[in-house]
């Protein structure tokens, strides 16, 4: 396979800034990569920052498999106020003057001690979580956030999520939007896919009886991918001002490449104030210069093979097996205890390995007689050798 696959297909890790949507980031990447075939794995709300995985070319077909990976977030949770969206973008709907409760503890060390007990009891391991009403979950084909914005009742069923770690790192007293005393708690959360950190903030406030919402969110990890990777492309938000065809001045937020992007730790180091955690948005009426610069994308992009290895387990196959897969035929591979794996052909030196297909392995059935096995009667023969298993292609990649 030619080395051109590095530039035509792969994954680009992006540090998303506050104030733009995940789609805005995709639009930026399309311009930088000169292709429309770009997608992302795991949406980040406009208020959130951090790791966004972009796939382009053949790698867009890996993105669905990345959605199920565990994630790690850094968050600031405000206790003492609740909002209708469970985050800082919403309107305050309740606030508590907690004269004798946790918000009026003598110091933040006492608050953290009590909070850690509450978290350990209620928010670790397997828990049932009701997603926030302002979520992308569909109800009868309509997004929940669209129904919520129209003022309609949104009923979402609780679902099981897994909180692997919920560490409370720091806390400080503050004054909320409503003017009441609040406590802002900085936390790190590692969790299963599908966990809503906004819902964690909301539910923590409810358990304490003071209300809570998410002030800031930064995603630092998705599976094996980290925002600390030196290849991460840092973006910033710029406000573009223009006059439309009706003569009305319009402003739009746009994601552009930046040399630096502030982290959530700046909130506690004093560079941010009030509820504005990620800092001010820079203003640029042109935004064209960012596309014209050379950001060394070739060295930032993860190759198709590296992207595959970080997405799921891989297995090396022969050229003949690769041909069979690309014709839709099953192959026999070494037994692997994974439902889905990626098959590749090892290439010669200085040439990228050929990522061939995502495979689905056959389930070993106790009753294989009469052709009732997962794939075919041939599986029974293959299973006589416990070191082999039959696999079929479910996603086939075009050879580059």
Residue pLDDT, tens place only, 110-133? 999 999 999 999 999 999 999 988
For 318-379, give the DSSP string.
-HHHHHHHHTT--EEEE--S-SEEEEEEPPPTTS--EEEEEEEEPP--S--GGGTSSS-THH
Phi and psi based region of residue 141 (left: phi greater than 0; alpha: psi -120 to 50; beta: remaining)? left
Instruction: Calculate what percentage of the chain has a pLDDT beyond 90.
Output: 62
Residue 283: per-residue pLDDT: 38
Q: pLDDT, tens digit, for every residue of 51-74?
A: 999 999 999 999 999 999 999 999
What DSSP designation does 132 have?
Answer: P
Bridge partners of residue 55, in order along the sequence: 11, 39
**Alpha-carbon torsion, ordered 103, 106, 112, 118, to 10 deg:** -60
On whether the CB atoms of residues 75 and 214 are closer than 8 A, the answer is yes
pTM of the complete model beyond 0.75 = yes
> How far is it, in rounded angstroms, from Cα 39 to Cα 28?
11
Domain boundaries, the chain: 10-68+227-257, 71-222, 312-365+386-396
Length of the chain, in residues: 400
User: In terms of CATH architecture, what is 71-222?
Assistant: 2-Layer Sandwich (3.30)
Answer whether residue 5 shows pLDDT above 60: no
Structure tokens at 133: 């009403």
338: tokens are 């994974």
Residue with tokens 């919520």: 148
Helix-, strand-, coil-residue percentages of the chain, each rounded to 5: 25, 35, 40
Q: What is the mean pLDDT of residues 292-321?
A: 87
Most confident of 22-36, 147-161, 276-290: 22-36
DSSP state of 12: E
Q: Is the pLDDT of residue 251 over 70?
A: yes
Q: Which residue in 15, 24, 45, 87 is the catalytic one? A: 45
Cβ-count burial of 16 within 10 angstroms (0-12 exposed, 13-18 middle, 19+ buried)? buried
Please tell me the distance from the alpha carbon of residue 299 to that of residue 231, in angstroms, as a whole number.
7
Average pLDDT along the chain? 84
In CATH terms, are 71-222 and 312-365+386-396 the same topology?
no
Q: What is the pLDDT of residues 221-241, one digit of tens each?
A: 999 999 999 999 999 999 988
The dotted CATH code for 312-365+386-396 is: 2.30.130
> Token digits for 293?
């610069």
Say which residue the tokens 């439902």 belong to: 339
Under a CB-based contact definition with an 8 Å cutoff, are residues 138 and 147 in contact?
A: no
Q: Does domain 10-68+227-257 have CATH number 3.40.630.30?
A: no
Give the range among 38-42, 152-156, 185-189, 205-209 with minimum mean pLDDT: 152-156
From the number of C-beta atoms within 10 Å of its C-beta (0-12, 13-18, 19+), residue 280 rates as: exposed
Q: How far, rounded to the nearest angstrom, does the alpha carbon of residue 216 sit from its chain's CA centroid?
A: 15
Is 45 known to be catalytic? yes
């Amino acid at each position: 396979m030619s080395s051109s696959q590095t530039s035509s297909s792969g994954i680009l890790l992006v540090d998303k800034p506050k104030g733009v949507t995940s789609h805005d980031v995709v639009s930026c990447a399309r311009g930088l990569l000169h292709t429309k075939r770009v997608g992302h794995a795991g949406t980040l709300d406009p208020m959130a920052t951090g790791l966004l995985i972009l796939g382009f070319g053949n790698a867009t077909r890996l993105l669905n498999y990345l959605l199920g990976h565990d994630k790690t977030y850094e968050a600031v949770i405000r206790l003492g106020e609740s909002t209708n969206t469970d985050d800082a973008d919403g309107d305050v709907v309740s606030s508590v003057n907690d004269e004798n409760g946790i918000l009026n503890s003598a110091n933040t060390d006492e608050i953290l001690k009590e909070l850690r007990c509450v978290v350990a009891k209620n928010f670790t391991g397997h828990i049932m979580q009701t997603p926030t009403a302002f979520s992308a979950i569909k109800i009868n084909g309509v997004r929940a956030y669209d129904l919520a914005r129209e003022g309609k009742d949104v009923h979402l069923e609780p679902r099981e999520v897994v909180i692997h770690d919920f560490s409370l790192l720091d806390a400080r007293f503050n004054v909320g939007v409503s003017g009441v005393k609040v406590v802002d708690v900085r936390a790190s959360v590692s969790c299963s896919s599908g966990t809503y950190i906004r819902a964690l903030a909301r539910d923590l406030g409810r358990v304490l009886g003071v209300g809570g919402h998410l002030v800031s969110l930064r995603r630092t990890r998705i599976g094996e991918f980290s925002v600390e990777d030196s290849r991460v492309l840092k973006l910033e938000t710029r406000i573009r001002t223009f006059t439309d065809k009706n003569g009305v001045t319009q402003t739009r937020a746009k994601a552009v490449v930046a040399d630096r992007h502030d982290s959530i730790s700046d909130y506690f180091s004093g560079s941010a104030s009030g509820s504005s955690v990620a800092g001010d948005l820079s203003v640029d009426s042109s935004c064209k210069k960012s596309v014209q610069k050379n950001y060394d994308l070739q060295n930032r992009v993860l190759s198709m093979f590296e992207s595959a290895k970080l997405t799921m387990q891989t297995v090396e196959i022969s050229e003949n097996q690769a041909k069979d897969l690309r014709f839709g035929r099953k192959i026999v591979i070494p037994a692997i205890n994974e439902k889905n794996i990626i098959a590749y052909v090892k290439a010669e030196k200085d040439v990228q390995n050929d990522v061939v297909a995502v495979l689905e392995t056959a389930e070993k059935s106790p009753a294989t007689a009469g052709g009732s096995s997962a794939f075919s009667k041939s599986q029974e023969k293959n299973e006589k050798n416990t070191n082999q298993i039959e696999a079929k292609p479910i996603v086939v990649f075009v050879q580059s």
